[in-house]
Structure 1
Amino acid sequence: MSFLNLKYKSGFGNEFRSEDPRCPGSLPELQNNPQVCPYKLYSEQLSGSAFTAPRETNKRTWFYRIRPSVLHQPFRPYERSNVRSDWNNVAQTPNQLRWKPFPIPMSDKNVDFVDGLNTICGGGDSSSRNGMAVHVYTANDSMKNRCFHNSDGDFLLVPQLGTLYIRTEFGKMTVSPNEICVIQQGMKFSVDITEPSRGYVLEVFDGHFILPNLGPIGANGLANPRHFLTPVAYYEDKDHIKFEVINKYCGNLFVAQMEHNPFDVVAWYGNYVPYKYDLSKFMVINTVSYDHADPSIFTVLTCPSTKPGVAIADFVIFPPRWSVATDTFRPPYYHRNCMSEFMGLIHGSYEAKEEGFRAGGASLHSMMTPHGPDNDCFIKATQDKLEPTRVADGTMAFMFESSLQLRLTDWALNFGRLDEDYYKCWSGLQKHFDGQK
Structure 2
Amino acid sequence: MNEMSPLKSTSPRAVAANNFAYMPGFGNDFETESLPGALPHGMNSPQRPAYGLYAEQLSGSPFTAPRGTNERSWLYRIRPSVKHHQRFQSFKLPAWKSAPNAADQELSLAQMRWNPLPMPIGETNFIEGIRTMTTAGDVFGQAGMAAHAYVANADMVDDHFFNADGELLVVPQVGGLRFMTEMGVMEVQPGEICVLPRGLVFKVELMDGSSRGYVCENYGAKFTMPDRGPIGANCLANPRDFKTPVAWFEEKETPCRIIVKWCGSFHVTEIGHSPLDVVAWHGNYAPYKYDLSTFSPVGAILFDHPDPSIFTVLTAPSGEEGTANIDFVIFPPRWLVAENTFRPPWYHRNIMSEFMGLIHGQYDAKEEGFVPGGMSLHNMMLAHGPDATGFEKASRADLKPVKLENTMAFMFETRFPQLLTRYAASLDTLQDNYIDCWTDLKKRFNGTPEGDWS
- Give TM class, smaller chain: over 0.9
**Cross-structure match for 1:172:** 185
**Cross-structure match for 1:374:** 387
Deviations 1:80-118 (A, max 9, x none): 431112522324022000011111112xx1100011011
**Cross-structure match for 1:433:** 445
**Cross-structure match for 1:211:** 225
Deviant stretches of 4+, over 3 Å:
8-13
**Cross-structure match for 1:48:** 60
Q: 1:134-149 to 2 correspondence within 5 Å?
A: 134-149=147-162
Q: 1:92-131 to 2 correspondence within 5 Å?
A: 92-106=107-121, 109-131=122-144
Deviations 1:54-93 (A, max 9, x none): 0000000000000001112221111243111252232402
Taking a change above 3 Å as real, the CA distance of residues 13 and 360 of structure 1, as seen in their structure-2 partners, is: closer
Question: Among the aligned pairs, what percent are the same residue?
Answer: 51
Matched letter for residue 202 of structure 1? C
CA distance in 1, matches of 2:334, 2:327: 20
8 Å Cα contact 1:88/1:407 also seen in 2: no
Matched letter for residue 238 of structure 1? K
Deviation, 1:33, is 5.5
Aligned mate of 2:28, from 14, 33, 41: 14
Deviations 1:139-167 (A, max 9, x none): 01111111110000110000000000110
**Cross-structure match for 2:40:** 28
SS in 1 for 2:244: coil
Q: 1:325-344 to 2 correspondence within 5 Å?
A: 325-344=338-357
CA distance in 1, matches of 2:222, 2:149: 20
**Cross-structure match for 1:197:** 211
CA distance in 2, matches of 1:310, 1:343: 19
Q: Which runs of 5+ in 1 are unaligned?
A: none
Matched, 1:307 2:320: yes
Q: 1:200-349 to 2 correspondence within 5 Å?
A: 200-239=214-253, 241-349=254-362
- Structure 1 length normalisation: TM-score? 0.96
Taking a change above 3 Å as real, the CA distance of residues 10 and 97 of structure 1, as seen in their structure-2 partners, is: closer
Matched letter for residue 422 of structure 2? D
Matched, 1:412 2:427: no
8 Å Cα contact 1:5/1:229 also seen in 2: no
CA distance in 2, matches of 1:310, 1:156: 19
CA distance in 2, matches of 1:11, 1:323: 30
Taking a change above 3 Å as real, the CA distance of residues 146 and 424 of structure 1, as seen in their structure-2 partners, is: same
Matched, 1:64 2:76: yes
Aligned mate of 2:172, from 153, 159, 167: 159
Deviations 1:382-403 (A, max 9, x none): 1110111112x11100000000
Deviation, 1:201, is 0.5
Deviation, 1:301, is 0.1
CA distance in 1, matches of 2:377, 2:87: 39
Taking a change above 3 Å as real, the CA distance of residues 11 and 280 of structure 1, as seen in their structure-2 partners, is: closer
Matched letter for residue 31 of structure 2? R
Taking a change above 3 Å as real, the CA distance of residues 55 and 213 of structure 1, as seen in their structure-2 partners, is: same
Deviation, 1:19, is 0.4
**Cross-structure match for 1:398:** 410
Aligned mate of 1:386, from 359, 383, 399: 399
Taking a change above 3 Å as real, the CA distance of residues 5 and 101 of structure 1, as seen in their structure-2 partners, is: farther
8 Å Cα contact 1:156/1:202 also seen in 2: yes
8 Å Cα contact 1:141/1:192 also seen in 2: yes
Taking a change above 3 Å as real, the CA distance of residues 289 and 228 of structure 1, as seen in their structure-2 partners, is: same
SS in 2 for 1:303: strand
Matched letter for residue 110 of structure 2? N
Matched, 1:88 2:65: no
Deviations 1:270-295 (A, max 9, x none): 00010000000000001101110000
Matched letter for residue 2 of structure 1? P
Deviation, 1:8, is 5.4
CA distance in 1, matches of 2:44, 2:352: 43
Matched letter for residue 297 of structure 1? I
Matched letter for residue 105 of structure 1? P
Deviation, 1:30, is 2.4
SS in 2 for 1:127: coil
Q: Number of aligned pairs? A: 431
8 Å Cα contact 2:166/2:198 also seen in 1: yes
What is the Cα-based RMSD across aligned positions, in Å?
1.5
Matched letter for residue 448 of structure 2? Q
CA distance in 1, matches of 2:153, 2:109: 34
SS in 2 for 1:350: coil
